[in-house]
Structure 1
Amino acid sequence: MTFKIGKTYFGFNLVDEYEIKEIQSIARIFEHEKSGAQLLHLENNDDNKVFSIGFRTPPSDSTGVPHIIEHSVLSGSKKYKTKEPFMDMLKGSLQTFINAMTFADKTIYPIASRNEKDFFNLMDVYLDAVFYPSIYEKPEIFMQEGWHHELFENEDDIEYKGVVYNEMKGAYSSPEAILEENISKSLYPDTCYRYSSGGNPDVIPELSYEAFLAFHKKFYHPSNSYIYLYGNGDIQKQLKFIDENYLSKFDKIEVDSHIHPQKPFTSRNEIVDYYPISSDENEENRTYLSLNFVLGEKTDSETYLMSNILSQLLIESQAAPLKKALIDAGIGEDIFPIITDGVQLGFGIVAKNTSLDKKEEFEKIVFDTLNKLVKEGIDKKLIQACINIIEYNLREAENFATKGLIYNIQSLDSWLYDSSPTTHLQYDETINKIRATIDNGYFENFIEEKIINNLHSSIVIIEPKKGLGEEKIEKTKEKLADYKKSLTEKDIEKLIAQNEKLKTIQLSDDTEETKATIPKLSISDVEPKALIIPQEIIKDENYTILYHDIFTSKIAYVDFYFDISMIDEELIPYTNVLAWILGKMDTESMTYSELSNEIYVNTGGINFNVNAYGKNKNSEVFHPKFIISGKAIGNNIAKLLELTNTLITESKLEDKKRVKELLQQLKSRIEMIIFDMGHSVASVRVGSYFSPIMRYMDKINGLDFYWFLSDILENFDENCEEIMSNLDEVYKKIFNINNLIVSFTGDKEDFAIVKDNLKVVTKELNKEEIKNKEFNFSEEKLNEGILSAGNVQYVSKGYNFKKLGYNYNGSMIVLATILNGDYLHNRIRARGGAYGAGISFDSAGHVITYSYRDPNLKETIEAYDNMADYIKNLSLDDSDLTTFIIGTISRLDPALTPHMKGQIATVRYISNISQGEVQKTRDEVLNTKLEDIRALSPILEDTMKQDYLCVLGNEHKIRENKEVFNNIVKLKK
């Protein structure tokens, strides 16, 4: 259909229409005349359709009200009356994405689905949730999702409970989160960015129910909304639906949500804050120093791209001169950038694991290095390489499978601030303009103006403090004790009654009447056939080529999977050390800086990884692989292979100082993600007690690997000869042509280039026969409580059901959907206050549970142990079971990038999983009956009875429950 600018379509006036070649879309900008809502439509051929509605939500304090509302509006609405329509859709939709996100100044509610009926269902649930939530009639929603005083017995102490409260306690366990909050405070002290929109756990309990409702009433109006539609859907049908069912019910109003920028400083600001460490941790060299600068407005396309290019140029690239200068001077063990979220772009240079007495030297080296770059000029090849990195990220939508969501977030980076919503989607002209300035001093001038001579800057210092965690716990206890003393007997009775009512609601099932309000799909809406990923198998004398003929927008993806089963057990962790340092060391012909530039000028990057893949249905056999992944376009494919060969044959692993620096950075990066990925850390660790493959995974990227790194760094100087020798031995052994798998994803023309040039890599490879080394494994119930300075727990239990005589069936995935969506969610998240909980089953026999940012410990273990009884007595009608089956199919059919498809097909080949078996699992899911689910209860009972558990959590909580554990160990040894 042809649209006309200025014409109205179902209440939406078309303001503008134009093509965006960069994302192969037609952009249409609409304004809803009656309600004032703005809408961006991106029409293209993508069948993974995206809808999102967002609101400008600047906070005026750190109570986390935008975040709590984000959670709460999805807990029932006028039309959808169940306790949590969001969870109902999550467990019974074909969605490829469903979530909600709170940013520093906005809140968005995106969904995606390939199925049109499902897409409209999800859109309806979300629109009803944001405009007509049940929060006004049900204060219990605020209590559950935000915070409340918990008390059930007169003699008990009062506690704070709430999902967001505990989520943010977990977030504030990370010193980086504390650092980021302080950077925003330091740069924008007079704006909304001085507050935590997610909520500071010390402040969250100051939020009243009345202020919570007032925030929603003020900001959640169509006049303050940003609606987004993407994909190949019927736009007229979509506009009609949104207008008739929602926007036509509202009149345009003035919403005071304008975001004011910070006025420039006349001198640098300074902030000092503290983060907690455990009582037995060393405080020495644990300080964070950060120099921060406001670069300009986010709506400016050049500044927007330059903030990311600058991150690469100065810090992230292996050739980055500022990072090199700081590391060489011993200023911190790791240097990384931070870019702030908001109307103004803030750029931070962070030194981690340093000391306060290095503050002046840190500042001096930063400015001396930058002044030298301005005076002498920046390496042109480095600039080109960094521009290429950012361009690949833009063209691949950051490698995120639901790319329409990435475009939504990028659109809001200008749209939210009253600029065009497509400013940052139309990047070609800006990239080309920046690239054309490489030789005329643009980059040097930018650094001089935006950093060196910029007084709108700050220095933030975050220091470790022993006892800070305990101090906060005691302060909270005192505050709550004083509060309890202030209550009368009637007040306490009322509080207990409120908690009893909340508990009853949390543990009760929705009525049939309320469940009937949730839109449902039928089995006929599901594609019965599993996705077939094209894969041609070409056998060579010693190796195998897997060719995946998939459209990739002319980007060729080449992955090398090297068999590393010949590595001695004590050297296994060194394979991941090698994966980290390759490409960051000198080669025979290039310094590591020159190598980095050469890679990114010619390719989209070459990355290294270590993984282990289980043999289909066999928990005792697995295939460890060292993986090299590269990508390039057209004529540069041959260069990609040439550089791959250089890396695996010419890397010089001799520079001890450089290796030590890289290992310190690796340890730092692992520490940064431990609290974000605590559930994964605990899950892998518990699996390592009873599973050979999971023991191997723990050695290469779990806690065992983290402790290995800590150990070798502690005595690196004394043992460096042995460490370097081990590293060299691994490097010389693993690049062997025998059992090599080369996986290619792309088109025929590019595959021909790979085949013609593959010998550039294969001719140099080691050809010695691979003799598999035995991986010594014995089951060991370590049952560890891992002590950290964090404020929450990550609780995991598991075992292998095949060892107990049970067999795998696709119905187990449906069981996981039921437990995740109902039982574990209700008891551990809604009732227990954890941010999340789940269970997984796999064909090798592993069943593993986890909780995420969990205030509890014993209660969570008890919930796991009672799963079997719940399933044994499960009552579901056909409609409910169908809902869970459809939700399971959405897990089997996630959104995938072209490269992901090639990787999945390759892993299936390695694990010997046929298309027939993939289809069989899908058939078993689709044909699951209630009796099949109930029949799985003995598996839950028997695996949980084995009592294999691991908890990563707060040191006091673990010590209070020490009888649960066989071993109590420190996270940071």
Structure 2
Amino acid sequence: MTCHTYTPGQRIHNYKVVAVTPLPIIDSTLIQLVHDKTRARHFHIANQDKENTFSVIFRTVPTDSTGVAHILEHTVLCGSRHFNVRDPFFSMIKRSLSTFMNAFTASDWTMYPFATQNEKDYFNLMDVYLDAAFFPKIDELSFKQEGSRLDIDPSQNPELVYKGVVYNEMKGAMSSPSQVMGRALLQSLYPDTTYSNNSGGDPLEIPKLTWQDLKRFHSRYYHPSNAQFYTYGNLPLEKTLAFIHDKVLHGFDFLSVDSSVPAQPRWQTPRQETYTYAYSDTDTMDKKYQGCVAWLTCDAKDAFEVLVLTVLEQILIGNAASPLRKALIDSNLGSALADASGFEPDNRDAMFAIGLKDIEKSAVAQVESIVFSTLEKLVKEGIAPDLVESAIHQIEFYRKEITNTPYPFGIKLLLSFTGNLIHDGDPVSCINIDADLERLQQALAKGGFLEERLKTYFIDNPHRVLFTLAPDPDLESTTENQIKKELTKIYQNLSQQDLEKIKQDATQLEQIQEQQEDLSVLPTLELTDVPPEIEMISPDQLDRVTHAAGYDKATSGILYFTCPMGAGHVATSLFPLVPFFCQAFTHSGTARQSYIRMAEKIDRYTGGVTLSPFSGTYFDKEADSHVFLALQGKALDRNVPHLFDIVKEFVLTYGFTDLERLKNLLLQYQAGMESSIVATGHRYAISLSSRHLSMASHINEIWHGIAQYQTIKQIVQNITDPETAQPVMEQLAENLNTMAGGILRKDNFKPAVIGSLDAIQQADQAIGQMLVALPDGSRPAFFTPDIPRDTQAPRDGWMTNTAVSFVGQSFKTVGITHEDAPGLSVISKILRALFLHREIREKGGAYGGFAIYNSEEGIFSLGSYRDPHITRTLDVYQKACEYIMKGDYTQTDVKEAILQVCSDIDKPETPGPAAMKAFYRDIARLTDEIRRQFKDQLLQLDKNRVQAIAQKYFDLDGRQAGVSVISSKTALEQANLTLEKSGQTPLVLNKI
């Protein structure tokens, strides 16, 4: 049955069709249904997308901060009625061609989504997901493994410690100021509803959760009557409905579940709140406050008001020229907008927050004053029509653009309206917004509409908080002491029987984690289900397209432009400045126009114009390294001329004369990197541990790692000293101009355009005009200069503000053209699934352990994320190498690893990004023949071949294996004591 034949009132497999709505903007149809017995709602978006998505969503409303919803999300994935294995979720990752598998816990909902292109896989995964959600085992040991538990550690005094995956995950999360800020704002603005609780779990509260509490929470909320089912794609709806009914719903009756989230009672007067976060660097403490103003605004189900506030967000803070962002940044009180700034429409009442970070405590009141004076000025003088037009354009652009980044489009779409859906709103109103846009245009035509909303939602709204986030140098030690006192008290009250129970649990848990399971109960795919071919995309031979590679693709009326430019002529002394050069190039204005005017034009006519740095190694046999910058832009077809007017102005009239703007960009850039270190510390640790292994990895560390952060940090220190500020800024501007002069040469451009033929032809003509105006160069610069580098393997630790660790280890192997490359990619999957997951996550309590094979550089890396250990994890890495060489795995394990690699290879992209990737494969010389040969060899691997490859590369004695750890000073010093006691080389400690 095709989707257009569905009609309201129609019955399908124990469901009733409630509504059928065309979604023309995404060429789809939404069918809404209700199950007869349980009244479970089902939302199906039917279209021709072969990447099919499924999700089941429950409204989950915690009443405390023990993390019950989050821990339940983990625990239901630890075995179920029909799939009674320890970890069916992670086991299915190995047995599937899924393009996405995960689970999410938000403040008031829990979601279990996946996506796949394979129909057999789709129903396999749905079977496992449904059984996990509705019929989980929730045994006590799984709860203790995933949530928290007491354990005995003879090295500690007292002997008790807390362990648990979520416990350590949240210790890591709450080490991040941005996480503390986001959670604390919810607690401040919504003190009377579920949002006042930390749904992820407060590490101080998590141990209070009991197994019985967890089971009660599941019984209360994980019922079909409290569920929303979602499917998306081209598979028949009837088959999906029958499957869900037969597997789950037929066994349930309707249950009245009180899970609704009431509106937060509104205040009559504004409030002030202060929260603290752990920060140990007392030298910089004075400038590490954050201050913001946050308001409760409209009902999240009111689609029109949500649209209005989305427009206001874009007007106020959407780009560098936005009046509120500009006023705050230009105040020079802080470095960047405060964490959690922006409009958040997913809660029952939508929230808006704005402020500054890296300020002094005394500046909080000034931040509030700037916010209100700017808003009052906009109300008094009126909002410029250009700002409104730009904001509406941005909404239009991102409605039309369909991409699979960072999630498959079906999941991105779901996440865009989950907040509305979960509060019984109408998801159609979130997608089909043309009527609301028309209503907005009519309101705007009468004048004063947005100014009136500024008064209503911001200036005259008493439900607001002036919020201060304060650094606390004693918070970490105070918290640790509090936990130690708590554990001491618990220890003193334990009976011998209690102690034996703790020991018994630890022993049982270890036995369960060690035992070999029969996974045959789980459904699986076979290698015969893998399509042997690879997707191949080549430039089209197009009439009147002579300057750029052209890809004639259906891109929903959007043109994509990209242009790599070689960076080989950049002086080696200036190489560390390349990432900031990219930031400044499109964000500091030109010789003709200010950054404000350029930002306005970018927002009004494009989906963005960026310049980004790339370093790597060519994929061909010679394998020389390359460095280039990629200039990119995208625009609706009607705005192609405007896009290239902007691009040409940047390229032909670049200018770095606004020193105040450059200073603000430096501060924002540093603040962004600083926030990312704790959030994605594993990536930094891997970069540090591999920096000695190739020129490209060395440059990657210079451009994207801790080395880059330290470069920018030093410049910022120099410009905050009044005596050195002016000459440093002048030298910086001169350096940026020098770099631009060496890069912007006509023979150094390799442009490509993707879209409809007419748009491509317009773009090609504009590119030709730009190239003619560029100066000639000596030769293309897609090579790497001889940059001095240290080839000695690092063994270092990097100190920062974090309650957990990130442990990286890297060593050299071979690249993709070598016959061993497919085996190395399979080994990375085997190690993660069969060894590291068990040893680092299940036993060690870290959030994750992983292995990565970089086929471009020929580098193999091991890493951990939000890890309570350092030396134990390094021991695990050694044992992992021994494990893979010894061969304690089966041919089935190899097959499942091959499936995972194929899933990565065959992950689909929408036409625009797919063509872009193909173009960059050509730039990096990754030919279709190399890709085809890799996949052919991959599908032929067996266990003996994999083990032989392992024995060739994983005996690390004598190898240049680098080790880098990011952690706290205390944890690193303790790790060094342990290493020295065991006769191992300690880490060289550095301060980030």
Shorter-chain TM-score above 0.5: yes
Alpha-carbon distance, 1:600 to partner? 2.0
Q: Secondary structure at the match of 1:87?
A: helix
- 1:505 corresponds to which of 509, 512, 515: 512
How far apart are residue 82 of structure 1 and its match?
1.5
**1:557 counterpart = 2:563:** no
Match in the other structure for 1:958: 972
> 581-590 or 124-133, which moves further after superposition?
581-590
For residues 623-671 of structure 1, the C-alpha deviation after alignment (integer angstroms, 9 at most, x for no partner) is 1111111111223212211210101222321111111011101111112
Q: CA deviation at 1:312?
A: 2.3
Alpha carbons of structure 1 residues 278 and 936: separation in structure 2 relative to 1, 3 Å: farther
Q: 5 Å matches for 1:324-473?
A: 324-336=326-338, 337-340=341-344, 341-396=346-401, 400=405, 402-439=408-445, 440-473=447-480
Aligned to 1:245: 247
Is the CA contact 2:882–2:954 (under 8 Å) kept in the aligned structure 1? no
Q: What is the deviation of 1:398?
A: 6.9
SS at match of 1:42: strand
Moved more, 786-795 or 934-943: 934-943
Q: Does the residue aligned with 2:431 lie in a helix, a strand or coil?
A: coil
CA distance in 2, matches of 1:857, 1:132: 37
| Cα separation, partners in 2 of 1:281 and 1:68, compared to 1, 3 Å | farther
Paired residue for 1:809? 821
- Contact 1:814-1:884 at 8 Å conserved across structures: yes
Q: Structure 1 959/152 Cα, relative in aligned 2: closer, same or farther at 3 Å?
A: closer
Partner residue in 2 for 1:141: 142
Give distance in 1, aligned partners of 2:870 and 2:958: 15
- Residue 493 (1) aligns with residue 493 (2): no
Moved more, 569-578 or 897-906: 897-906
Counterpart of 1:646 in structure 2 is 649
| Contact 2:95–2:523, Cα closer than 8 Å, also in 1 | no
Residue among 728, 731, 737 paired with 2:740: 731
SS of alignment partner, residue 816 of structure 1: helix
Matches within 5 A, 1:455-604: 455-510=462-517, 512=518, 515-536=519-540, 545-604=548-607
Q: Pick closer, same or farther for the CA change 1:52–1:21 going to 2, 3 Å.
A: same
State the distance in 2 between where 1:233 and 1:653 align: 54
Aligned to 2:207: 205
Query: Is residue 837 from structure 1 mapped to residue 868 from structure 2 by the alignment?
Result: no
String of CA shifts for 1:867-893, please: whole Å, max 9, x gaps: 222123334444443222212211111
Contact 2:286–2:361 (8 Å) recurs in 1:
no
- Describe the SS at the equivalent of 1:259: coil
CA distance in 2, matches of 1:399, 1:437: 35
What residue identity is the alignment partner of 1:574? L
* Structure 1 residue matching 2:635: 3-state secondary structure: strand
After superposition, give the CA deviation of every residue in 1:562-584 in whole Å (9 maximum; x if it has no partner): 00111111211222112112232
Distance 1:549 1:540, change over 3 A: closer
SS, match of residue 178 in structure 2? helix
Counterpart amino acid of residue 112 in structure 1? A
| Higher deviation after alignment, 644-653 or 275-284 | 275-284
Q: What corresponds to 2:609 in structure 1?
A: 606
- Correspondences of 1:79-94 after superposition (within 5 Å): 79-94=82-97
Moved segments of 4+, more than 6 Å: 537-541
Whether contact under 8 Å (1:642, 1:761) holds in the other structure is: no
What is aligned with 1:616? 619
- Once residues 436 and 163 of structure 1 are traced to their aligned partners in structure 2, the CA distance between those partners, rounded to angstroms, is 53
Greater Cα shift, 755-764 or 192-201: 755-764
Q: Indicate if the aligned counterparts of 2:655 and 2:737 stay in contact, CA closer than 8 A.
A: no
Cα distance, 1:919–1:620 mapped onto 2, change above 3 Å: closer
Segment of structure 1 superposing worse, 527-536 or 619-628: 619-628
3-state SS of paired residue (1:744): strand
CA displacement, residues 29-85 of structure 1 (integer Å, 9 cap, x when unaligned): 111111121101111111111110000001100111111111111111101121111
| SS of equivalent to 1:284 | helix
1:181-234 Cα offsets, whole Å, 9 max, x none, are: 111111111000000111111111111111111101100000000000111111
Cα 1:327–1:943, aligned 2, differ >3 Å: closer, same or farther?
A: farther
8 Å contact kept, 2:403–2:909 = no
1:776 and 2:782 aligned: no
Q: TM-score, normalised by structure 1?
A: 0.96
- Counterpart CA distance in 1 for 2:246 and 2:814 is 54
Take 1:149 and 1:124, find their aligned partners in 2: how far apart are those partners?
34
Aligned-pair CA distance for 1:467: 2.3
Once the two structures are superposed, residues 853-874 of structure 1 have per-residue CA deviations (whole angstroms, 9 ceiling, x without a partner) of 1111111111111122212333
Show CA shifts across 1:805-855 (max 9, x none): 986421211111111111111111111111111111233321111111111
2:664 to 661, 686, 701: 661
Distance in 1 between residues matched to 2:957 and 2:334, nearest whole Å: 45
Structure 2's unaligned 5+ residue stretches are 720-724, 980-984
Percent identity between the two aligned chains = 28
Mapped to 2, the partners of 1:700 and 1:155 lie a distance apart of 41
Tell me the residue number matched to 2:832.
820
**Pairs within 5 Å for 1:100-115:** 100-115=103-118
The 8 Å contact of residues 91 and 888 in structure 1, kept in 2 or not, is answered as no
Q: Which segment is superposed worse, 390-399 or 288-297?
A: 390-399
Residue in 1 that maps onto 2:769: 760
1:70 maps to what in 2? 73
Aligned length: 964
Query: What code does the residue aligned with 1:523 have?
Result: L
Task: Identify if the C-alpha distance between structure 1 residues 738 and 965 changes in structure 2 by more than 3 Å, giving closer, same or farther.
Answer: farther
Aligned partner letter, 2:536:
I
Residue 920 (structure 2) pairs with residue 907 (structure 1): yes
The change in CA–CA distance for 1:943 and 1:18 in structure 2 (over 3 A counts) is: farther
Structure 1: 5+ residue runs without aligned partners? none
- Residues 280 and 691 of structure 1, relative CA distance in 2, 3 Å threshold: farther
Q: Which whole-Å CA distance do the structure 2 matches of 1:168 and 1:189 have between them?
A: 21
Change (3 A) 1:521 1:951: same
Does the CA contact (< 8 Å) of 2:827 and 2:950 recur in 1?
A: no
Match of 1:871, SS state, is helix
Matched-pair contact (CA < 8 Å) for 2:616–2:697: no
- Aligned-partner SS, 1:798: strand
Q: 1:661 to 1:677 in 2, by over 3 A?
A: same
Change (3 A) 1:231 1:954: same
> Which 10-residue stretch deviates more, 726-735 or 331-340?
331-340
Are the equivalent residues in 2 in contact too, given 1:94–1:889 (CA < 8 A)? yes
Pick aligned residue for 1:744 from 750, 753, 758: 753
Deviation at 1:952, TM superposition (A): 0.6
Give the deviation of 1:946 after TM superposition: 3.3
Name the CA distance, whole Å, in 1 between partners of 2:161 and 2:648: 60
Deviation at 1:918, TM superposition (A): 0.3
Structure 2 distance, partners of 1:852, 1:139, is 25
CA distance in 1, matches of 2:990, 2:440: 52
- Bigger shift: 576-585 or 917-926? 576-585
| 1:947–1:965 CA distance, 2 compared to 1 (3 A) | farther
Quote the Cα distance in structure 2 between the aligned partners of 1:460 and 1:118.
48
Pairing partner for 2:962 from 924, 945, 948: 948
TM-score (norm 2): 0.94
| Cα deviations by residue, 1:744-798 (Å, 9 ceiling, x for unpaired) | 2223232222222212321232322147632223303332200011011110001
Deviation at residue 599 of structure 1 after TM alignment:
1.8
Q: Which residue of 1 aligns with 2:934?
A: 921
Q: Where does residue 719 of structure 1 map in the other structure?
A: 728
* Cα offsets for 1:934-955 (capped at 9, x unmatched): 1122212237953410001122
Question: Structure 1 residues 449 and 760 mapped into 2: Cα distance closer, same or farther (>3 Å)?
Answer: farther
Equivalent position amino acid for 1:941 in 2: D
Question: Which stretch of structure 1 is more off in the superposition, 656-665 or 592-601?
Answer: 592-601
